[in-house]
Structure 1
């Protein structure tokens, strides 16, 4: 992918070829980060059981759950909610959050993901 708008009118991301990077939740494969005319990023994230509570000051994340252990949950500030495949949770800036249990998600992030906007208490 290039950093200039595509003359084809579309972009393709094959996540099988996107390298994973460590994140507070486990390992994320981040797509569309280098596409200048797309305002966000799309991540496929494998969440480990030891996800760390964190928050973002600018970013809004939307988790779409693809796969989950039966006991999978999300901590959202002081609430813990059960999650399952097919659910979606939108997380506004300032919301402390973490995943509890193993899961695989698609994370839609607006504006583009910035690792400098990961904060820990």
Structure 2
């Protein structure tokens, strides 16, 4: 299956259930690392959900998007403006819009982005 493979099951005439597996999506490299979009902007949901594999992200910020990182596996560190924190499994980190941030290490994370459209709202600083 490709990154554009989708599986839908009708719930009613107005909304659709959506389900995708990480293994079904071909990753590509973005500012934060290898990204697999599980719920994308085009899906019409209020948020986006991405699976990320991070080794060394670039410092960046978002003007309109709040992000919530949930560490699935691995360890690393994250810079949030002038603060640096340790990342470990089962930790959640809130990154409000405007906060300069980057992560590094060997990490697999789930990122929830609100509102959708985060890939059009990346402002790199490195």
TM-score by length of 1: 0.86
2:92 counterpart residue number: 88
Structure 2 match to 1:60 = 66
Distance 1:60 1:24, change over 3 A: same
Q: Which runs of 4+ in 1 moved over 4 A?
A: none
Equivalences for residues 22-61 of structure 1 within 5 A: 22-33=29-40, 34-36=42-44, 38-48=45-55, 50-61=56-67
- Which has the larger share of strand? 2
Which of 111, 116, 122 lines up with 1:118 in the alignment? 122
1:99 paired to 2:107: no
The residue number in structure 1 matching 2:10 is 7
Q: Could you say what secondary structure the match of 2:124 adopts?
A: coil
Q: Which runs of 5+ in 2 are unaligned?
A: 1-5
1:53-104: per-residue Cα shift (whole Å, max 9, x none)? 00000011100001123xx111000000112100000111000001121100
Equivalent position of 1:73 in the other structure: 77
What is the RMSD computed on CA atoms of the aligned residues?
1.8
Mapped to 2, the partners of 1:92 and 1:41 lie a distance apart of 15
Give the drift of 1:6.
5.9
Q: Does 1:19 align with 2:22?
A: no
8 A contact 2:66–2:96 mirrored in 1: yes
Measured in 1, the distance between the counterparts of 2:9 and 2:71 equals 30
Unpaired stretches in structure 1, ≥5 consecutive residues: none
